[in-house]
């Protein structure tokens, strides 16, 4: 069974530590219990413990609990350089607690010889795995804890840089599985349907539904870290930008090819780029930073300055905390590792009052320090997961150097061993001080469909998502009445949302259910009601009504959804949305992304209403320029002269129209 037995553990650890002799510029590795003492937590209500360490886990980069409570860890020992002999050492291990003490003490190799596997997601009794250029499905059908089914599901992803490959598999409440692609090129093919046309993912991320054979590009360019909250909002990590958002989904953003140059993502942090680390910058970084700043000074680039420490440069693994083993005030936090700064950062989220984006803020008790900071420069918190016990698990790759060699000058690399630490790896458990370590084994596959419906209201997001996923797999239509009852009467809006999308996954949504969701007390449920109302053209009057909703989130979705309908039916509603929310760039982009929202008819309606163009503002100028750009690029019929004529006698608006049309005509798009 490829077991690593506990009796070998002490000898193996001693040998590994003994071999890790660092040069004078760099410190030596610490044993797990010593490394634990280097942690400084911001909250004395919490405790950190060693959950697993080498040799049970080596170079871990991801961890997941499946529906039974089984623990799987992804190992990436080939980072940052693949072996010269072409061998593949990537693996997935299943951790096992044989003595029921709440910690694993043995492991079996579930899969090996993997090409840079980076993330896993439980699915249909097995695991989905990102291993560029593929997304795989692995499953053990014989009961020996080793995958014997190995299927390539999707292929064509970028595979040249391990820091920019397909990763971060996440199952969301909307029944889609999301993955980060860093915006890299790729023509993605679905092997289960060879006739399906390939999908280009250049400039975006990726999402798919195996239950319906759907796959498509998604907005954003996340790197390593993808947090999805209770309502399906996505937040992603990218090195120096530790928390970003893509407010407009790709299926709306790319409805036509003629939008002006746009950036689909937004940095939502109100405190970037500062962090508070407790380790000095490593020698190579200090020296490289000194050289670069000297070059900036010699070139008189007064606006350029690089920092060696206390600034985000290696943000990784952003994860949403929806568990119940930390104090209640932690629920909804986003935890992000900073591998260069040897720390864990925490963000709280709040809605913007004027648009669809969120604002990420430090907690009050963390204004001047981090949630967790270590004095050990080997601490590399690359990722996190939340278990069925509600605890936060920290995946520590534990390396002397975490950067790729290509980013470091040759002379500074002379005394750097980039593989130093590849024999090591740790996983820590963070929970209330009074919380006793215990590996929960939910055994959800033994639950009846009715029992799984009840779990849609669990306080821990992990249980809710697992229950919904299993109900999607089972396709048991007998639970439809229970789901409708939950949607109507349950007091927890999260349970109502899970019920709504479980109905969707069972193909049981009808127009009455969608209209019901559009009237729910919770804005996020109303938002999804509007979104799915697009499937039922008869709901257009209700979508138009939601353009006047008191929630900016609902109004924003209405702005997107109305664009799915002909201009003659929705132009007045789109004009009203612009008049109310036109100062927000995301509302303007949402409207311009559709045919109806980029029509001369909309411009005519705005002029007729007399509000949006009453006073010249930067926002109104920006929208009019964008509208003219789209019309100029589209080169359709008499649209361009009609728009020009509409503003010909208004010189303060004419320049925006003239310039926009001219710039759009240069695009040469079909």
User: Concatenated DSSP letters for 556-607?
Assistant: HHHHHHHTTS-HHHHHHHHHHHHHHHTTSHHHHHHHHTSTGGGSHHHHHHHH
pLDDT tens digit string along 513-537? 999 999 999 999 999 999 999 999 9
The predicted structure's pLDDT at residue 81:
81
User: For the whole model, what pTM was predicted?
Assistant: 0.94
Residue 619 maps to a domain: no
The answer to whether the CB of 182 falls within 8 A of the CB of 165 is yes
- Under 8 Å CB-to-CB from 496, ≥6 apart: which residues? 486, 487, 490, 520, 522, 525
How many independent structural domains does the chain possess? 1
Taking residue 100's Cβ as centre, other Cβ atoms within 10 Å add up to 10
Q: 173 with 501: CB under 8 angstroms?
A: yes
Half-sphere exposure (Cβ direction) of 232: Cα atoms closer than 13 Å: 22
User: How confident is the model at residue 224, as a pLDDT?
Assistant: 93
Give SS3 for 543.
helix
Q: What is the mean pLDDT of the chain?
A: 93
Element (H, E) at 249: none
Q: Does residue 431 carry a pLDDT above 70?
A: yes
Report, in angstroms and rounded to the nearest whole number, the Rg of the chain calculated over CA atoms.
26
> For residue 161, what pLDDT is reported?
80
Q: Residue 25: what pLDDT?
A: 87
537 domain residue, yes or no? no
With pLDDT > 90 as the criterion, what percentage of the chain qualifies? Answer: 85
In a domain, residue 29? The reply is yes
| pLDDT (0 to 100) of residue 497 | 98
- What CATH number did the domain enclosing 389 receive? 2.120.10.30
Q: pLDDT tens for residues 557-582? A: 999 999 999 999 999 999 999 999 99
Does residue 488 form part of some domain?
no
N residues, the chain: 670
Q: Is residue 551 part of a domain?
A: no
For residue range 31-54, list pLDDT tens digits in order. Answer: 999 999 999 999 999 999 999 999
Six-digit token pair at 339?
């591998």
Question: Could you tell me if residue 612 is inside a domain?
Answer: no
Residue 104 within any structural domain of the chain = yes
* pLDDT 10s digits, 265-319: 999 999 989 999 999 999 999 999 999 999 999 898 988 998 989 999 999 999 9
Write 503-511 long-range contacts (CB < 8 A, 24+): 504/174, 504/175, 504/532, 505/175, 505/211, 505/468, 505/471, 505/472, 506/471, 506/472, 506/475, 506/476, 506/477, 506/479, 506/480, 508/477, 508/480, 508/483, 509/535, 511/536, 511/538, 511/539
- Examine the pLDDT at 5 and tell me if it is beyond 50: no
- Contact, 358 vs 397, CB < 8 A? no
Query: Domain containing 111: what range?
Result: 6-432
Q: Can you point out the beta strands (E) in 54-176?
A: 60-65, 71-75, 90-96, 106-114, 119-123, 126-131, 134-139, 149-155, 167-171
Residue 409 has pLDDT above 70, yes or no: yes
pLDDT in tens, 55-101: 999 999 999 999 999 999 999 998 888 777 777 889 999 999 998 88
Distance CA 525, CA 534 (A): 15
Residue 651 domain-assigned (yes or no): no
Q: CA angle, corner 169, sides to 262 and 76, nearest 5?
A: 110
């Amino acid at each position: 069974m490829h077991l690593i037995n506990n009796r070998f553990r002490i000898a193996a650890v001693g040998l590994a530590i003994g071999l890790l002799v660092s040069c004078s510029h760099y410190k030596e590795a610490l044993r797990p219990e010593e490394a634990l003492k280097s942690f400084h937590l911001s909250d004395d209500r919490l405790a950190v413990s060693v959950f697993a360490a080498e040799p049970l886990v080596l170079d871990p980069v991801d961890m997941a609990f499946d529906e039974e409570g089984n623990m799987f860890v992804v190992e990436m020992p080939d980072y940052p350089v693949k072996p010269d002999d072409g061998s593949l050492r990537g693996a997935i291990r299943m951790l096992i607690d044989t003595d029921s003490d709440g910690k694993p003490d043995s492991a079996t190799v579930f899969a090996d010889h993997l090409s840079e596997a980076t993330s896993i997601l439980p699915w249909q009794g097995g695991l989905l795995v990102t291993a560029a250029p593929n997304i795989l499905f692995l499953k053990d059908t014989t009961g020996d804890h080793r995958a014997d089914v190995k299927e390539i599901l999707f292929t064509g992803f970028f595979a040249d840089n391990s820091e920019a490959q397909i990763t971060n598999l996440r199952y969301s409440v909307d029944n889609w599985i999301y993955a980060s692609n860093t915006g890299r090129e790729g023509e993605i093919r679905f092997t289960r349907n060879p006739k399906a046309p390939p999908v280009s993912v250049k400039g975006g991320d990726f999402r798919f539904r195996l239950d319906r054979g759907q796959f498509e590009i998604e907005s954003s360019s996340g790197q390593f870290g993808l947090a999805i909250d209770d309502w399906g909002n996505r937040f992603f990590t990218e090195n120096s930008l530790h928390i970003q958002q893509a407010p407009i989904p790709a299926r709306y953003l790319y409805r036509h090819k003629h939008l002006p140059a746009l950036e689909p993502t937004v940095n939502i942090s109100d405190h970037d780029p500062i962090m508070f680390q407790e380790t000095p910058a490593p020698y190579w970084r200090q020296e490289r930073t000194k050289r670069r700043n000297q070059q900036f000074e010699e070139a008189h680039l007064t606006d350029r300055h690089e920092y060696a420490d206390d600034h985000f440069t290696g943000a990784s693994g952003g994860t949403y905390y929806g568990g119940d083993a930390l104090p209640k005030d932690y629920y909804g936090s986003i935890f992000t590792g900073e591998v260069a700064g040897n720390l864990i950062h925490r963000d709280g989220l709040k809605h913007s009052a004027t648009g669809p984006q969120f604002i990420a803020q430090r907690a009050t008790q963390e204004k001047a320090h981090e949630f967790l900071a270590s004095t050990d420069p080997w601490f590399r918190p690359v990722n996190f997961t939340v278990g069925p016990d509600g605890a936060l698990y920290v995946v520590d790759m534990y390396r002397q150097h975490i950067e790729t060699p290509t980013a470091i000058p040759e002379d500074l690399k002379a005394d750097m061993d980039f593989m130093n630490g590849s024999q090591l790896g740790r996983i820590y458990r963070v929970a209330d001080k009074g919380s006793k370590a215990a590996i929960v084994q939910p055994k959800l596959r033994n639950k009846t469909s009715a029992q799984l419906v009840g779990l849609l209201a669990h306080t821990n997001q992990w249980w809710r998502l697992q229950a919904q996923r299993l109900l999607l797999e089972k396709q048991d239509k007998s639970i439809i009445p229970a789901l409708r009852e939950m949607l109507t009467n349950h007091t927890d809006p999260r349970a109502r949302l899970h019920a709504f999308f479980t109905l969707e996954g069972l193909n049981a949504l009808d127009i009455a259910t969608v209209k019901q969701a559009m009237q729910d007390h919770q804005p996020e449920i109303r938002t999804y009601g509007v979104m799915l109302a697009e499937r039922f053209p008869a709901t257009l009057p209700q979508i138009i009504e939601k353009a006047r909703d008191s929630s900016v989130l609902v109004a924003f979705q209405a702005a997107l959804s109305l664009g799915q309908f002909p201009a003659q039916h929705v132009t007045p509603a789109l004009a009203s949305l612009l008049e109310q929310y036109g100062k927000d760039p995301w509302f303007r982009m949402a409207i311009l992304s559709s045919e109806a929202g980029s029509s001369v008819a909309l411009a005519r309606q705005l002029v007729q209403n007399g509000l949006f163009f009453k006073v010249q503002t930067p926002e109104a100028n920006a929208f009019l320029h964008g509208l003219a750009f789209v019309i100029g690029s589209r080169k359709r019929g008499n649209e361009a002269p009609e728009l020009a004529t509409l503003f010909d006698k208004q010189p303060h608006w004419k320049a925006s129209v003239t310039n926009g049309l001219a710039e759009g005509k240069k695009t040469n798009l079909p």
